[in-house]
Structure formats: C-alpha cells, structure tokens
Structure 1
Amino acid sequence: MEHMANESPAVLEGALQENALLKRRSRPVRKSVDQETAEALVGRLCSLLDAEDFFGRYAALRPREKIAQQFLASAADQSQSEFNCAVSPKVRQQVPLLFQAMAGVIEERSGTMIQSTAEINGEGFGRGLLYSGRVILVLKSLRAGFPFPFTSEEKMLRYGAECIEEGLAFLDRYKEVTAMHGLLSLEG
C-alpha cells in the first residue's frame, strides 16, 4: 500500500490515460438479432404492407423485396427528413407500421392482446407505444425522427427485435405480479 502512495504521479497518470484509451477503442458488443424474431417481424410487416396495397402492385414480390420497395426509405427520403427539421412522408409511414408489426409479434408470442400507438409531428418529435390494457410494455421517444427513417433492413430488424424482446420481458415480469388478480386486469 505504501508502495502505491509513493508512485510518481506521472506513472499513475499514464496508467489512467491508457485505461481511458482502451475504453474508447472498445465498442459495446451488440448481440446478434434473433432470426426467429426477425422473420416474424418481416412476416407481420409484409402483412401490413399487403393491407395497404389495394391494387396488388407489389403482390408478386418476395417479402424482403416488398419491404425494400414499400417500407425502407431512400437516400432522398432521408435527406428530406434531415432538411430544415421536417419529417418526410416516408417517416410518417414507417413509424406506425413498425410499431403495429412489433405489437403483432408480441401478441403472437405471448397470447395477450397488444395494442400500438405511434405519433410523430412535422418536426419529428413523438412517441411509439406498445401496451396491453393498462400496462405499457415499450415506450420509445422520437427526437427529430431518430432512429427513423430506416434505410437498411438490418437496422430496422435490430430496432424491432430489441423492442420486441423488451416488451416480452416486461410482459413476463408483469404477469407474475398480477397472477392473483387476473392477467393484466387490475381494478382501480
């Protein structure tokens, strides 16, 4: 212990700088997206896109192609969203569709009725909400439209899968607490 106290400040400072440098270099490791969840999300999203495709223009496309053509934003859509804090029509379409698709996957996996609400104003501020009864499972704030618009399928699937896992984990925790009063039905 005395030895440490007698170390020169320069040696200690060098060790602290080296430690800080290692922390900056290392990026947090993201776990990979669960393929089953990703496929379920793609299926739900395609079902929603098919419901909006009144004339069947995209009916012959494969699910991934359908998402690329109807859902994902182009570079022009993204630059339109970044210009003057305005939100492009593509973002206004993506937000509610993605939250509806996530709600459908959670509902399918849990057997509990899940609703979604998503709103975004012209400047990109808003929220996306997944809930069941009085219980809010997922609440995401949108600031300047972030993380929307999604221009790649990988980013959209990662965001959706993380929200689905978060919602399922919270739903499981809440089921245990309310087992005596009936599932998700507390009288108030």
Structure 2
Amino acid sequence: MEPMANESPAISEGALREAAQLKRLSRPARKAVDQETADALVRRLCSLLDAEDFFGRYAALPPGEKIAQQFLASAKDQSESEFNCAVSPKVRQQVPLLFQAIAGVIEERSGTMIQSTAEINGEGFGRGLLYSGRVILVLKSLRAGFPFPFTSEEKVIRYGVECVTEGLAFLAKYKEVTALHGLLSLEG
C-alpha cells in the first residue's frame, strides 16, 4: 500500500487546514479604491438615475439610498438572471447606465469627449464599450451577464473605478500618438 493510505484522518485534516491557510495568504490584496474617482462615479450615476426619475420620487434620498433603490439588483433579480440564462430587466438597466457614468467620469478627468455603448441580449451576452473618436479606451465583454447584476454599492464602485482607471491609463498612453492630429483623425 502507499504510505498515504495508512495515515490517520487527523493528519490529512491538518494538511487540509494548512492548504486552506496558504490559499488565503496567497490571495492578492485588493487595492484601495481612489475615493475622489469613487465620489465622481457616484455623483454621475445619481445624476443619470435622477434623469430617469420622471416624477422625482427618489430626489430627496441621499446618493447611497438612491443607488440602492433605483440601481442595485435585489436577490430576486439576481436569481431571475441566473435562472435559465435569462437576464432580468434590472440587469438590462444597469449595463448602459453604469457605462454612461464611467464615460462621464473619464470625460471630466481627461477633458476629452468620451462616448459609451453598451448592449446585452436576453441571454446575458454583450459588451460595454467606451471610446473617443476612433480610439477604444475600455472594452468589457459580458458573459451570462457577469459581473452584472450588482447587488452592493461597493462592487459597483470598485468595478466603475477600475474601468475609469483603465480608460484614463489607455488615453494617457496613446496621447502622444493622437496629439498631432487629434483622436478623430487616426487612420486604420
């Protein structure tokens, strides 16, 4: 017999605990979210939500509650999205609104006109695209709606800030290339 077959279960449990501890230690620590960018994203998202609130029902709410009531998906919405690969109406609302808010923040920070396009089909496949002229700054593929639906404000902010950072970094990287003729005159 092999040596492992003769060992006691207590030893194997200890090995499992050590492996779990090593796995926890090896996880990369999450970076802190840039608070200024997070505040700008929340402000933009709230202004977009206010534009859709025709009767002003949520106008008096603070930003966190406004996002929770009008934007975040409930557990029911999340389970509806996971059932049968169908996307809930809440997810179909979240995708374009979030990408519009991200585009607004990048536009504020860079002074360059940024546009957003977001689409998601009934099965949850689609893309979110942020671009300026012919330069694509952020392209996110959606598979089965992932990472949507967002159920917590923290996750929305983290995702949005990561997209803003990615877009600004890409814009800065190619600023030299586009400086001579502008973003709209790139060939190709």
Tell me the CA shift for residue 178 of structure 1: 2.0
- Residue 57 of structure 2: SS of its match in structure 1? coil
Tell me the CA shift for residue 24 of structure 1: 3.0
- What residue in structure 2 maps to residue 92 of structure 1? 92
Tell me the CA shift for residue 184 of structure 1: 4.7
- What residue in structure 2 maps to residue 109 of structure 1? 109
CA distance in 1, matches of 2:102, 2:174: 19
CA distance in 2, matches of 1:182, 1:162: 25
CA distance in 2, matches of 1:62, 1:48: 14
- Residue 175 of structure 1 contacts residue 184 of structure 1 at CA under 8 Å; is this kept in 2? no
Equivalent runs, 1:60-79 vs 2, <5 Å:
60-79=60-79
1:165 aligns with 2:165: yes
- What residue in structure 1 maps to residue 140 of structure 2? 140
Tell me the CA shift for residue 181 of structure 1: 2.2
CA distance in 1, matches of 2:39, 2:155: 14
- What residue in structure 2 maps to residue 30 of structure 1? 30
- Residue 104 of structure 2: SS of its match in structure 1? helix
Amino acid at match of 1:133: G
CA distance in 2, matches of 1:184, 1:110: 16
CA distance in 1, matches of 2:77, 2:65: 18
Distance change in 2, residues 1:32/1:184 (3 Å)? farther
CA distance in 1, matches of 2:114, 2:69: 28
Matched length: 170
Over aligned residue pairs, what C-alpha RMSD do you find? 1.7
Equivalent runs, 1:6-85 vs 2, <5 Å:
21=19, 24-25=23-24, 26-85=26-85
- Residue 116 of structure 2 contacts residue 130 of structure 2 at CA under 8 Å; is this kept in 1? yes
CA distance in 2, matches of 1:35, 1:41: 10
- Residue 168 of structure 1: SS of its match in structure 2? helix
Please, which runs of 5 or more residues in structure 2 have no aligned partner? 1-14
Amino acid at match of 1:149: P
- What residue in structure 1 maps to residue 3 of structure 2? none
Tell me the CA shift for residue 87 of structure 1: 0.2
CA distance in 1, matches of 2:119, 2:183: 28
TM-score normalised by the chain length of structure 1: 0.86
Tell me the CA shift for residue 142 of structure 1: 0.2
- What residue in structure 2 maps to residue 14 of structure 1? none
Tell me the CA shift for residue 187 of structure 1: 4.7
CA distance in 2, matches of 1:104, 1:183: 17
% identical equivalent positions: 87
1:4-42 deviation digits (Å, cap 9, x = unpaired): xxxxxxxxxxxxx9xxx5863311111011110110000
